[in-house]
Structure 1
C-alpha cells in the first residue's frame, strides 16, 4: 500500500515529513480509488480548492499564452499530498483544474487532458521517490540530486499532455510548440523544486517549536538542525541576510525599463547571496532564500523590464526560470554539502572522543592489571604495544621492546628458547598460542610466564597482528613444586610405614635365601674337609649359592624401588601374576594374622597398562588393611580376592570379613589423615586413591554382604593418559 495506508495522524505525518518512509514501490489499484470516508472526501475537496488557488497565483504571471506559466505551484502541492497522504487523493487535481477551466474559460477537452497529465505527473514523481528511496530531509547531496532529477522528469508527462492539447485546440500555433512545451515543463518543475522542500523543511521547524526536542519522531538529526537554526543570534542573522537578498533582487530586477550596469550587478548578487545563506543556515536558509528570490523574480517581471530587454517576453521568462532552477538546485546542494560536512565533523569529533575514551580505558586497564598485554606485527614481529606492567614481570622498560624487536627472544631462558620460537612461528599461521616458559630478567632472576595469544584479522580475513596476555606464574609454580615435594614426601612416608608393616614378611622372605646360602656353604665346606667334593659338586654348590643370592637381591631391589619410586612407568602387566607376587611379600603377616586367602581370578585376562611398582603398593596397602581389620573378629577370617574384566577395564576387589567401617565415617575413608587405627596416620587409602586415579583408574569401597568391607580398583586395559612424572603432582 502507499504512504496513506502506512501513516495515520499527526505523528505519522511528522515521520513522513522528516524522512520519507515509502514502503511500496508499486501503485496498487486500491490507491487510486475515491476515498471512502467523509473526512477523506472533505480533504479531497480542500485539496482541489487549494490547487485552484495556487493555480490562479501561477497564472497571474503573464507569458502571452493563455494557460501557460513559468511557475506552477499546484505541481508541488500535488506531489506533497501524494507524499504525505498517498495517491488516492488524485481526484483533487481534477477538481482544481475544473475550477481553473471555469475561471479561465478553458476548453473542457484541454482541461481534461491537462488534469490527466498532472495526475500522471504526481504519480510518476511519487513512484520515482519510492523507487530510489529518496530521503526528503535533503541532508545528503545524493538525495538533493535525485529529487532534482525527479522534479525535472515527472513534468515531462504533463507538459506533453498540456501543450499537445493546446495545439490541437488551436489555442497556440504549432510553430510555438517548443516554447510552450518548455515553459510548461519548466513551470511544473519550478513548482516542485520550490514548494516541496520548503514545506517539508519548515514544517519540521514548526513542529519542533510546538513540541520541543522531546518529540522523538522528528529524529535526533532533524532536532539538532532545528536547535541549530533557532539560536537567538542566528535568527537575527538570517533576518538581515533575507532583507539584503530581497533588496538586491527587487532593485536589480524591477523598476526600470532599461537596466543599468549597477542594477545588473545587484541582480547577479542574488545567486552568491542565496548560496551564502544556504551555507550559513543550510536547508532552512536554502529553501527560504530560493522561494523568496523566485517570487520576486517571477512576480516583479513586466514585459520590457528586467535584465533582458532585448529578447522576447517568453524567452526572458524562460531565462529567468532557468536562473531560478539553477539557484534553487545550487542552494540545496550547497546546503546538503555543508550539512554533510557538519555531520562528518560531528561524527569525527564523536569518533575522536570515543577513541580517546577507548584509549583511556585501555591505558587504565593496561597500566593497572598485573598481566602484560602485548600486540605485535605478524609479518616482522616488531612490537606495536606492550603494557607498562612488563617492568615488574620482565624487569625491562617498554621502550626496550619497541627499540629492539629481539628483546623478547633474548629474555627467554636458553632451555626454553627453541621450543617457544617454534610455537610462536606456528602461532602466526594457525592462530593458536598458549604455553608456559621461563624468562631471565636482567638481574638474573628466573621467572615463569604463562602466555596466551590470539590472532587479529584484517578486512581481507588474513592475520596481520598478534595479541596476547602474559602472566607471571612464578609463585604458582613454586607452590606447585612445593606441593609436589610435600606429596612425594607423604607418599614416601606411606611407603616407609608400609615397609615397617612388611618388616616381618620381608625378614622371613630374605631369611629363606640366606638360610639356603648358609646351608649350601656349610655342606660344601664339610664335604671338602672329608675329601668328597668333586669339581661337579663345586659347580653345583656355587650355582645354588648364586641363585639364592639373586633371589635375595630381587627382594631387596623390590623394597628399594617401592620406597624410592616417584614417577609413573607404564608397561603391560599380568594383573593375576602381579597380585600373587605381591601377596608373597605379606605372606608372613597373613599367616600370623590367621587369615585365609581365597582367589577368584579371571581366566585369560588381557594385560593392563600400569606401573607395576605403584600398583603393587596399592595392593599391599589394601591387603594389610584387610588383614588388620579382621584381627578383632572371632569368626573365621577370610580375604577374598577377585579379578575380572568389565569393558575396557580390569577390576581387582578385596572382600574381608572384618569389623567394617561405621556408616557415618564411610564418606571420609579416602580423605587424607583419616584413619580408624589407633597407630595409623591416615595416608594409605588417600595415596592409594591418588595413585589409581593418576593411572586412569578408580578406587571404590562399599560395605560387604553381612559383614566386612570391600575395596576395589579398576585399571584400563590401555592407559588413557600419557602422563609424565608430573602426573603424581596431585597426590
Structure 2
C-alpha cells in the first residue's frame, strides 16, 4: 500500500513537471511571434514563459522547477541548438522565476492579490528585481561568445530584462485571476464588460497604429477596467495593450515609425511598464478598499446581532413588579 501511494505521488509529480514544461514551451512559441533579431541574437519585448513559470511556482511550489528548465531547453532547441550557451541561458531563465517565487514568499505575497502590498511585491520582487538574473546571464553569454555585438549589448540586455519583467507583470496576474474567476450573474455587468472590451480594442488599435502621439488613450480604459472589474478586467486589458503595442514596435509603425529600434524598444517598454503598473496597483488598491468595506459591514452586522441578543436577554431577566396592596381587589366570591 505504501509503495502504491509513493508511486502515485511520483507519477503526479512527473505529470506536473511535464505540464509546466509544455506550458512554458507553448508560451515561448507564442512569445517568439514578436521577436527582435539583433545580428542573430533573438530577444522578445514580452516573454510570456516567465509569467507562466512564476504563476506555476506560486501554485505548485518549488518542486516543479525542472519543468521550467525542460521548457526553456525545448524553446532553445526550437530556435537553434542546445549548446553550452543555450544551457546557460536555460539556467538563467530557470533561476530568475525561482528567485522571484522565493522573494514573493518571503514578503508574504497572496495569490488573491487583494492587497496593495501584493501588487507592489509582484512588481518589484516578482518582476523587476529577479529578472535581472536572466537578462544578465543571457545577454552576457551571447556577448561573451560573440553572438551579440558590443554595440547591441545594452539594447539586447534592456529588451531581455524588460521582456522577462513584463512577462511577470502581464501574464502572471492574468493566470492568477483566471484560476479563481467567476461568471457574473448580473446582465448589466455583462453589458459593461462587453462595452469595455470593444472600447479597449478600438482605443488600443488607434493608439498603436496611428501616426499621432495617442498612446495615452489606453490609460482611461485601464483605469475603467481596474475601478469596475479590478484585476479580472484590468489584466486582460493590459495583455491586449502589450501585444498590440509590441506588434507596432516590432513592425516600426504608428508612433514607433520615426524611431530607431533602440528608441522604439525604450518607448515600448515605458508604455508597457506604465500600463502594467497603473492597472495592477490600482486594481489591488480598489480590491483592498472593497474588502475593508465588506469587513466593516460584517463587523457592524455582528455587533448589531450581539446588541439584539443582549437586549433580549436583559428583557427576559427583568423581574415582574409586585402587586400594589392598596389597589382594591375583587371579592373572591364574585
| Counterpart for residue 120 of structure 1 | 95
* Aligned 8 A contact 1:303 1:313 in 2: no
Q: TM-score under structure 2 normalisation?
A: 0.84
Distance change >3 Å, CA 130–CA 280, structure 1 → 2 = same
1:130: which partner in 2? 105
Partner of 2:259: 311
Q: Distance in 2 between matches of 1:319 and 1:313?
A: 10
Say whether 1:246 aligns with 2:201.
yes
Once the two structures are TM-superposed, the CA of residue 73 in structure 1 deviates from its matched residue by 0.8
Which residue is equivalent to 2:151?
Answer: 175
1:54 is matched with which residue: 12, 27, 39? 27
Note closer, same or farther for the CA distance 1:358–1:233 as it changes in structure 2 (3 Å cut). same
Q: Residue 328 of structure 1 aligns to a residue in which SS?
A: helix
* Deviation (angstroms), 1:91: 2.8
Trace 1:14-413 onto structure 2 (pairs within 5 A).
37-65=10-38, 66-106=41-81, 108-150=83-125, 151-205=127-181, 226=182, 229-254=184-209, 259-260=211-212, 264-265=213-214, 267-364=215-312, 370=318
CA–CA separation in structure 2 for the residues paired with 1:87 and 1:114:
19
Shift of the 133–172 alpha-carbon distance from structure 1 to 2, 3 Å rule, reads same
Listed as ranges, the matches of 1:544-563 within 5 Å are none
Report the RMSD for the aligned CA atoms in angstroms: 2.7
In terms of fraction of residues, the more strand-rich structure is 1
State the match for 2:332 in structure 1. none
Alignment partners' CA distance in 1, 2:300 and 2:65: 50
* Distance in 2 separating the partners of 1:189 and 1:270: 20
Please report how far the alpha carbon of residue 62 of structure 1 lies from its aligned counterpart in structure 2 after TM superposition: 3.5
Cα pair distance change 1:244/1:366, threshold 3 Å: same
Distance 1:47 1:370, change over 3 A: closer
Instruction: For structure 1, list consecutive stretches of 5 or more residues without a partner in the other structure.
Output: 1-7, 9-34, 206-225, 372-388, 393-471, 473-731
The whole-number CA distance in structure 2 between the counterparts of 1:36 and 1:109 is: 33
Question: CA 1:350–1:189 in 2, change beyond 3 Å: closer, same or farther?
Answer: same
Contact 2:36 2:44 in 1 (8 A): yes
Helix, strand or coil at the partner of 1:195: helix
> For residues 198 and 370 of structure 1, do their structure 2 counterparts lie closer, same or farther at Cα, with a shift above 3 Å needed?
same
Which secondary structure state, in structure 1, belongs to the residue aligned with residue 249 of structure 2? coil
Q: How far is the alpha carbon of 1:107 from its aligned partner?
A: 6.2
Distance 1:363 1:48 in 2: 62
Q: Retained in 2: the 8 A contact 1:109–1:165?
A: no
Q: Distance in 2 between matches of 1:179 and 1:168?
A: 16
Q: Deviations over 1:185-218 (max 9, x none)?
A: 111111111221111211212xxxxxxxxxxxxx
Give the distance between the partners of 1:369 and 1:39, measured in 2 at CA. Answer: 62
Secondary structure, aligned partner of 1:301: helix
Q: How far did 1:275 drift?
A: 1.2
The 3 A distance-change label for structure 1 pair 366 and 126 is: same
Unaligned runs of 5+ in 2: 323-334
Cα distance in 2 between the residues matched to 1:102 and 1:362? 72
Alignment of 1:505-544 (within 5 A): none
Q: Which has the higher helix share?
A: 2
The total of aligned residue pairs comes to 313
Taking structure 1 as reference, are residues 367 and 95 closer, same or farther at Cα in structure 2, changes over 3 Å only? Answer: closer
TM-score (norm 1): 0.40
Q: Is the 8 A contact 2:208 2:245 kept in 1?
A: yes
Of structures 1 and 2, the larger Rg is shown by 1
Query: How far does the alpha carbon of each residue in 1:37-60 deviate from its partner, in whole angstroms, 9 at most, with x for none?
Result: 345434434433332232122222
Assess if the C-alpha contact under 8 Å between 2:36 and 2:250 holds in 1. Answer: no
Q: What secondary structure does 2:22 align onto?
A: helix
Question: Of the two structures, which has the highest relative contact order with CA contacts closer than 8 Å and spacing of 6 or more?
Answer: 2
